[in-house]
Structure 1
């Protein structure tokens, strides 16, 4: 797949990145190099290779999954500009 200047301009527009017209050839070239590298990676045989989450075999510490509310309702609501009956009060947004 090859990226031309028009496609590079469209990608920049979709990404909402301002790219000057004189920079489009370099951007298209960068895109083509990236796609070339991806094509190179696709040629690698990965059959039988397990997916990994890290380059080092690290086991994450696990904790028991217990739901707690922290019993800090008053402290949390103290930061609210408007709290009523134990809840945050917000202005009505739907008519």
Structure 2
């Protein structure tokens, strides 16, 4: 793409940067607008950009689910699966009671 010197001098620093990177200024602004809209929808920060963006809460939920699964695997390996089941049930009951108490 050939640009006249006068056009180059009228461009902002950002526009020049995007032009050199091969991205039009308008495309970049559209990406930023889309990213801001995603943040507004989820009302939170978003990890990463593009197709595979996930919210912090989604990532946190994934980590907790993974930890729960690994705890089950560990209990099976140790042979204490019965103890784990009883403790998980007790934890659920306790959590529900506390939830009702502080509602």
Using the size of structure 2 for normalisation, the TM-score is: 0.27
Considering Cα pairs closer than 8 Å and 6+ residues apart, tell me whether 1 or 2 has the greater RCO: 1
Using the size of structure 1 for normalisation, the TM-score is: 0.29
Structure that is richer in helix per residue: 2
